[in-house]
Chains A and B, each alone.
Chain A
């Protein structure tokens, strides 16, 4: 069983719409939780970093939340753009290692 599970596996939305991606984890303890965006053929790029004591963190149109009690995190994308089409990966940092989820593939259509 994956320590970091993401849903949905893939998502298609229309440009301008909002969406929320989910991340459930079993990793414990961890020092911080990160959301990354990975464009096709590129390495992942960090969107947000939250410590276990933080509940929310925003970066432009991206807002991440963390509920340590339920071990869930979400990434909310507001007013989606075509350039948001990518894979979004939830990552937990345990000591020096990144533990990756399998990602959500988002496609934004005009």
Chain B
């Protein structure tokens, strides 16, 4: 596609439920990132996929968070047993490998845990 596509755009869930957020990166972009933006806060790194390498999971805040990237393309971020502090905008970005390529962000998924 022309850009990074994320779905759903908005998600309201009850505390304790599991949620799945989807990211469809730009075709040919081997790098994929998940970030979280809480209200009034900066963007927080969650996880990074690069090609077939093992993902960098160092930003995941707890073991309730996990992510997969199937076939080097679509990625799913799963949050189990959601808590209210998980409420945030979850942004996905993709890029070609290399330090000076631009990162293209999706419009994000706004997650609200009630």
Contact = CB atoms under 8 A, between A and B. Distances in A.
Contacts of A18: none
Interface residues of B, dominant DSSP: strand
B43 A93 contact: no
Contact of B103 (A31, A41, A46, A101): A46
Interface residues of B, number: 23
Given A100-B42, A101-B42, A44 B105 contact: yes
B103 A98 contact: yes
Given A31-B99, A96-B31, A96-B50, A45 B105 contact: yes
Interface string B14-44: 0000000000000000010101000001111
A101 B91 CA distance: 16
A102 B91 contact: no
Interface of B: 4, 31, 33, 35, 41-45, 48, 50, 56, 91, 93, 99-100, 102-108
